[in-house]
Amino acid sequence: MNNVIGLNPKPELSSQAFEQLLDLLHHVYGYDFSGYSKASLLRRIYKFMETHEAKDGKQLIQLLAGDTSVFQLFLETITVNVTEMFRDPGFYKSIRENVLPILATYPQINIWHAGCSTGEEVFSLCILLHEAGLLHRTRIYATDINASNLEKARTGVLPMTHMREYTLNYLQSGCTGDFSDYYTALYDHVLVHKEIRDRVVFLQHNLVTDRSFNEFQLILCRNVMIYFNKQLQNKVLKLFYESLSSLGFIGLGMKESLLFSEYRSKYTVIDGSVKIFRKKN
């Protein structure tokens, strides 16, 4: 390797140092990242190393082993908490058209939104259910690994910055109401109305280590498993399979597939273009 041109060479982490780091995170801090996608985990570790001027694994491990507050910053950097309302409007349109009419036949609807981050997609689903007249008999369990995400989600407060984009997404998702009826603007923030949120329970849950806690007619887990390797994806898909009622639905991110998993044959494709599947009887 020659670093002749780069004035600030990028940090490097050897495979050995990477393993040492995973070991430290697991045994000292109790977080098991061994089933995570190496490429995206490394990318965020490098980002942390650049900000904290750690040039190699040795310096990074010294930083982390010595200071719990540095570890908290590290954890925030390496877990992704990006989300938006009505992300991929076509997905919500398909849920409205293909899934809600069937859910409507149940007296009580249980939904699990796994990896809900700060709640934006949960509130989007609540609005769909509200417009379909189903919200009052639905219970949504929204879970995330990160407690501070859940705290934010529980407040129902979102930054105003993205509301314009969210409104456009809402309009494209085939919704029938007026988006602005669902929130109140407060200076640079908005508050999602309580009646939209009050069927949601936000709970901390770790997909890697925790078990199922109920039976659901619909599970949403969008853009969470992309951070896992194939083995861990299969483990989580097993958890979802066991948590779905017979003929229950699962909705994934637009480029997440059951195709490379052991569960491919156990589901019917409801809408392949937006990744909605239904558990076979």
216-221 β-sheet, strand order: 200-204, 138-144, 109-114, 216-221, 244-252, 276-279, 267-271
Measured from the CB of residue 267, what is the shortest distance to other proteins in angstroms? 15
Residues 6+ apart with CB under 8 A from 150: 116, 144, 202, 203, 204
Measured from the CB of residue 255, what is the shortest distance to other proteins in angstroms? 5
Measured from the CB of residue 43, what is the shortest distance to other proteins in angstroms? 6
Regarding 88 and contact with other proteins (CB under 8 A), the answer is yes
Return the amino acid letter for 55.
K
Distance CA 244, CA 232 (A): 19
SS3 percent helix, strand, coil of the chain, rounded to 5, is 45, 20, 35
189-192 β-sheet, strand order: 157-159, 189-192, 183-186
CB atoms within 10 A of CB 112: 27
Q: Pick from 68, 69, 82, 105 the residue near other proteins by CB under 8 A.
A: 82
Total residues contacting other proteins (rule CB under 8 A)?
40
Measured from the CB of residue 98, what is the shortest distance to other proteins in angstroms? 18
Measured from the CB of residue 260, what is the shortest distance to other proteins in angstroms? 5
The two three-digit tokens of residue 176, written as one number: 């029938």
Return the amino acid letter for 167.
T
Residues 27-66 that bind other proteins (CB under 8 A): 37-40, 42-44, 46
Measured from the CB of residue 236, what is the shortest distance to other proteins in angstroms? 13
CA-based radius of gyration for the chain = 21
Q: Pick from 61, 226, 245, 263 the residue near other proteins by CB under 8 A.
A: 226
For other proteins, the closer CB: 172 or 245: 172
Regarding 165 and contact with other proteins (CB under 8 A), the answer is yes
Using the rule CB under 8 A, give the single segment among 58-66, 135-143, 145-153, 256-264 that binds other proteins.
256-264
Q: What angle do CA 144, 150, 183 make, to 5 degrees?
A: 120
> 165, 157, 167: which is closest to 190 by C-alpha?
157
**How many residues would you count in the chain?**
281
Regarding 164 and contact with other proteins (CB under 8 A), the answer is no
Measured from the CB of residue 69, what is the shortest distance to other proteins in angstroms? 22
Q: Pick from 33, 48, 89, 278 the residue near other proteins by CB under 8 A.
A: 89
For other proteins, the closer CB: 44 or 154: 44
Using the rule CB under 8 A, give the single segment among 20-28, 96-104, 208-216, 252-260 that binds other proteins.
252-260
Return the amino acid letter for 224.
V
Return the amino acid letter for 96.
R
Q: Pick from 227, 240, 249, 267 the residue near other proteins by CB under 8 A.
A: 227
Measured from the CB of residue 47, what is the shortest distance to other proteins in angstroms? 9
Binding site for other proteins (CB under 8 A): 1-6, 9-10, 37-40, 42-44, 46, 80, 82, 87-90, 165, 168-169, 172, 223, 225-227, 229-230, 233, 253-257, 259-260
